[in-house]
Structure 1
Amino acid sequence: MSDYDWSVYDRNWGDWHPKRQGDHLIEELKLHGDPIALAWFPHNSLPSKLETHIYKGELKMVHCQFMQRARFRGETYILEEDKSNPGPPVCNGDAYTGLCEVNPRLGPGLVHSRTDPSAGVSTRLGIFGSPAASRRSLINHYHIVPQDIQYLAIAPLSNCPFDPDVVTIVCDPRQATMALRALQYHSGLAAIGETGPGTCSSSWVATLLTGEPRYSLGCHGVFGTMGIDPTEVCVSIPGEQVPTMCAVLETWREKGKQMFTEEPPNEERDFIHAPYEGPYRAHARIQHERGEEKPEPEGERYIPWAERRKKKN
């Protein structure tokens, strides 16, 4: 229907349109790479203006790899069912997002616990030690989009041509903490995190299906296939909640709330170096900020943990 007015369904973002959201989050959270916008389109629901983004290239990858390209290369992809999938063996992520059928061995608990002898594959240890453990995790923790999806749209939030259902931020734990605290600033509701299922299932798919922010510490696929840094985590936020988060971050900056401190971590801290008998006061940082005298220097050399551990062994 050529005169079908898709714009009726466009979301009114007010002052916080997706481009501004993306630029704002990069600036305020000091992100490395763009937040990733995601949207799911069942059959006959893709606006005609987006058809030009349907991916027909030669890259055969799973969706999380396209997410990384959107994050770092600024590219937009609309993946159609399994047409860009490289085929097994990779992972079940595209099935969790609804782009293709779930492996028939997943339900019985075999995919993550036992290789298939009929396929001529040698034995190796999986994510779970038994089919029973795999089934428990699948029933209690995995989130899987029903296979009624035709397209999964992926774009950098700062240059996103569609209304995001979910925004995924790949960041370090401190950035994740500030993002989630901004979300709970007015609601008081804590975010839920699950580690164990695939990150696609426990983060962005869970957020789509529950309407709640979800984070994950990672999985084999997110580090091995998607290739995020081992120091990074994934935080997914419902698209409709991102303007609230951005507005809170803006308020914090305007009113002088300090989000990030630059004191050195772990063994570089003064209180680690202080001898057993002192001298040191726990609030020395506050004293220093007030212009008061710094703690007295340590009286003996601190032996780093790794060095002490080596001597012990």
Structure 2
Amino acid sequence: MSNEPMKIPVNYGEAAEALKSILGLKGSPVAIRFAPTKADIPAGIPELDKTIRHCSMVNLARMEGKIFYAPASRHECNGGAWSLGLKEITQTLKNGEFYFKLGKFDSDAACKRTIERIPHLDTGETYATLYAPLETTPFSPQVIVIVTTPRNMLKLAQSTLFRLGGRICAEFAGIQSVCADATAQTYLSGQPNFSMGCDGSRKYSGIGDDEMVMGFPAEMLPELVTALPIVTGAAGSK
């Protein structure tokens, strides 16, 4: 898995500007890429100089325009690092004890059932995760994450169905929203996913009470950008 651009060229700057202007986004869409080895990190991208959570890393790119990579040692949240393929799952997360003690489930068994269905890359598959605002990304993204209002999520959902129609099947569990729901699942499934956010991401990454999270495969970007102005300008659009 090299850092080769997609075969169909995409102007990320123009696409980001379209998303930001049409939706009135607060901040930028965030480009994310998985680097399986250190050699897959493009020259000139710095390592993050602090240890924080994946959701906080997304916020650095989204709100502060930061471009960086983060190896396992820079990922503070073990659950997020595990879902992104950077670290082994901890025993307390695997057996349900971690979230049970946080009061999120009635039993450790209920927690374990949830954890077993969390989307995740194979451990060791990822050396580092790369982040950048979409408009200035120096790498070819694999996943794009957007944080915005429910109304904008409606328009993004309608835009994903504009060409072929169908239904959107969002998957989330109220935990690990930005890491597992919006990033890992999107990367693994090749489908967009919408998430309510989680307590951790809302506490640490600046997601507002009036915002949700969406991840979509970077390959979908041209389709979304084409459909979005049509959907938002349609006679039946609010």
Give me the TM-score of the superposition, normalised by structure 1: 0.69
Instruction: Select 1:181's aligned residue among 158, 175, 183.
Output: 158
Question: How far apart are the structure 2 equivalents of 1:98 and 1:162?
Answer: 19
2:55 matches 1:64: yes
Which residue does 1:23 correspond to in 2? 17
Give the % identical residues: 24
Instruction: Select 1:81's aligned residue among 50, 65, 72.
Output: 72
TM-fit CA distance, 1:19 = 1.4
User: C-alpha deviations, 1:56-107, integer Å up to 9, x for none?
Assistant: 52x221121111010011111111222x234xxx552122112222212222
2:198 matches 1:198: no
Q: How many residues align?
A: 234
Which residue does 2:6 correspond to in 1? 11
Instruction: Select 2:43's aligned residue among 31, 43, 51.
Output: 51
Say whether the 8 Å CA contact 1:36–1:71 is kept in structure 2.
yes
Which residue does 1:301 correspond to in 2? none
1:96-135 equivalences under 5 Å are: 96-114=83-101, 125-135=102-112
TM-fit CA distance, 1:237 = 0.6
Compare the two structures and name the one with the higher helix fraction.
2
Say whether the 8 Å CA contact 1:213–1:238 is kept in structure 2.
yes
Instruction: Select 1:243's aligned residue among 207, 222, 234.
Output: 222
Secondary structure of 1:248 counterpart: helix
Larger radius of gyration: 1
Which residue does 1:145 correspond to in 2? 121
Uncovered stretches (5+) of structure 1, i.e. residues with no partner: 1-5, 115-124, 262-313
2:147 matches 1:170: yes
Question: How far apart are the structure 1 equivalents of 2:198 and 2:147?
Answer: 14
Secondary structure of 2:100 counterpart: coil
TM-fit CA distance, 1:236 = 0.6
Uncovered stretches (5+) of structure 2, i.e. residues with no partner: none
Question: How far apart are the structure 2 equivalents of 1:226 and 1:259?
Answer: 34
Aligned CA-pair RMSD: 2.1
Secondary structure of 2:186 counterpart: helix
Question: How far apart are the structure 2 equivalents of 1:136 and 1:175?
Answer: 32
Paired amino acid for 2:90: N
Secondary structure of 2:129 counterpart: strand
Which residue does 2:209 correspond to in 1? 230
TM-fit CA distance, 1:181 = 0.7
Which residue does 1:209 correspond to in 2? 188
- Check 1:190–1:54 CA distance in 2 against 1; reply closer, same or farther (3 A cut): farther
Secondary structure of 1:111 counterpart: helix
2:34 matches 1:40: yes
Give me the TM-score of the superposition, normalised by structure 2: 0.90
